[in-house]
Structure 1
Amino acid sequence: MEREKIIAIVNDFLVNEFEVDGDEISNEANLKTTLGLDSLDYIDMVVVIESNFGVKLGEADFKKMVTFDDFYTTIENKITEKNK
């Protein structure tokens, strides 16, 4: 899957399902600060990611993510690993 498509899908569900202001989403923006999600929201996000991309993100994955770019890259890498 192309990175642009991953970004479009992620941004769409963040805006529509997690009520994130689309104007605040940028590659360099701090993921946790911008999302403002609680632990239950992260569980919901894992489910949404799995249903959209067929990959699972764990707690360790989220701990390594600082920016939205990190988030997109992690999903992209998981998809690539899955498809090997």
Structure 2
Amino acid sequence: MLSTAPQSAPATPSLNDLQYPHDRFMRLPEVISTCGLSRSTIYDLICREQFPSQISLGGKNVAWLASEVDDWMQARIAQRTGGAA
């Protein structure tokens, strides 16, 4: 007599189990408001590779990742405090 163990269906993650990044796009006015820099300073720092670069959204639309802007701000704070953030 053959014994068969109950076979379960392959586990497929439900929508609640999936992990999506909680990052979001920030347009220029929000970046300016968040970090306190002017438009010209932001673009100058981007040219010197000292600020996160914008991402093209298509056409003439660009945005910045909120996490990258936040990381930049945290790095500036760490510089001020000598690395102890």
Larger C-alpha radius of gyration, 1 or 2?
Answer: 2
**TM-score, normalising length from structure 2?**
0.26
Return the TM-score normalized by structure 1: 0.26
